[in-house]
Amino acid sequence: MSTLAKAMSKFRLAVVQLQVGGVKADNLSRAKRLVKEAAGRGGNLVLLPECFNSPYGTSFFSQYAERIPGESTELLSEAARENQVYLVGGSIPEEDGGKLYNSCIVFGPDGKIILKHRKIHLFDIDVPGKIRFQESETLSAGDTLSMFETPFCKVGVGICYDIRFAELAQLYSRQGCQLLVYPGAFNMTTGPAHWELLQRARLIFIGGDHETVKTPNFRHGYMTFDREAVDNQLYVATASPARDESSSYVAWGHSTVVNPWGEVISKAGTEEEVIYADIDLQYLADVRQQIPITAQRRHDLYSVTSVQRGNS
């Protein structure tokens, strides 16, 4: 492997576990300060939490919502450019066409917007006596997969509840993503039960040695798998807000990075902090060689079929 290839086979991921309060300006200035801190400690790609600029709750989305570009995204663009980092801007409540979305904006090191991911799966759950949350009461769902290229690897983006849907991660992996990032905000009920488990579960997929995906277009409600080989072992990173017991929605915390072997390689506590993980793509390749699930797929027994939603 050439020296350049070796250099590009590793990069530093920084995950900002941000203390989020009710004053947007304070959240933004804290976020900008910690992005700078992350870059100063070698972060090449920086991840912020879900709803990093405002309290997370259906009663807050409309009050804190912004158009994009707007106050929060312009600050993030500046932070990405000033620090020369890829910045996955957590998420913010977005207003567009009279609708509200939970939106993640990704910026390149030049500060330009690379993509916008609108949360595809809205967080609607009801665990009697524990938690009831219905994002769909105020938010609309996105309908597009979101991936971006970096000089290091291809990255797939989901927001929090999106992590529960293996099909999304599988589509990302089949499209060649080697890192999945999820700005999130699990809670004190599902956090201890599922947060880490879901991240570790997203790593390994039954490889498709003859399948990949034409660029799926959710707008037409279908996913099509064609035949081409890609592996499905990846790094997974999640960013949570710091825990605030006084807030109406208490975030679990414990932002985490998991490697392709399923090991937790970096994990935050519950306070505000930045955690770091050195992503080694040669290691990912080694794991894929050691557990060659792609080549072992039993196409004679099963295959992945297209999904056609009712409407076209």
* 3-class state of residue 307 by DSSP: strand
Cα 302 to the chain's mean position, in Å? Answer: 29
What CA–CA distance (Å, rounded) separates 113 from 69?
A: 9
Q: How far is the C-alpha of 1 from the C-alpha of 3, rounded, in Å?
A: 7
Using alpha carbons, list the distances in angstroms from residue 238 to 28, 30, 139, 140, 163: 19, 19, 22, 22, 9
- Residue 55 vs 207, nearer CB to ligand LYUYDEPV: 55
Active site residue 119: yes
Instruction: Point out the catalytic residue in the list 24, 119, 177, 211.
Output: 119
Sketch the per residue contact string, 84 through 113, with ligand LYUYDEPV: x for CB under 6 A, - otherwise.
------------------------------
Quick one: 85 or 160, whose CB is closer to ligand LYUYDEPV? 160
Provide the minimum distance between the beta carbon of 55 and ligand LYUYDEPV in the complex, in angstroms, as a whole number: 12
Angle of helix 24-40 versus helix 71-83 axis, rounded to 10? 20
Query: Which residue has 């710091």 as its token pair?
Result: 242
Residues in binding contact with ligand LYUYDEPV, number by CB under 6 A = 10
Contact predicate 35/44, CB 8 Å: no
Contact string 113-152 vs ligand LYUYDEPV (x = CB under 6 A): ----------x-----------------------------
Could you tell me the two tokens for 256? 């985490």
Min. distance of Cβ 192 from ligand LYUYDEPV in angstroms? Answer: 10
Contact call for residue 50 and ligand LYUYDEPV (CB under 6 A): yes
Report the candidate in 199, 205, 217, 147 with the shortest Cα–Cα distance to residue 176. 147
Catalytic residues: 50, 119, 160
Q: Which residues bind ligand LYUYDEPV (CB under 6 A)?
A: 50, 123, 160-161, 164, 185-187, 190, 194
